[in-house]
Amino acid sequence: MATNKLLTMHEIEYKAKKKSLSAFLKKFDDKTVTGINALVDEASDAAWKEVECLSCANCCKVV
């Protein structure tokens, strides 16, 4: 239950900030970020500690 509420809140927040997020990410199109793989791995590990994928499985439904 808490995970669904969290995902709903995240979706609402994402929609509100989508434009600024896209603009932020565009800045990195032409740049090489040193150590990006380690940063992504760390963020991924942290996210999977918070999310129980099987409780929602929405990604599997829409892909």
pLDDT for the residue numbered 1:
53
pLDDT for the residue numbered 39:
92
Q: What is the pTM of this model?
A: 0.40
Q: What is the mean pLDDT of residues 35-43?
A: 92
Residue 43 to residues 30, 36, 46, 61, 62, Cα–Cα distance (Å): 22, 10, 5, 24, 23
Separation CA 12–CA 6 (nearest Å): 10
Percent of the chain at pLDDT exceeding 70: 94
Separation CA 16–CA 48 (nearest Å): 24
How confident is residue 38, by pLDDT bands cut at 50, 70 and 90? very high
Phi, psi for residue 3 in degrees, rounded to 5: -65, -45
Averaged pLDDT score across all residues of the chain? 83
Chain centroid to Cα 53, Å, comes to 13
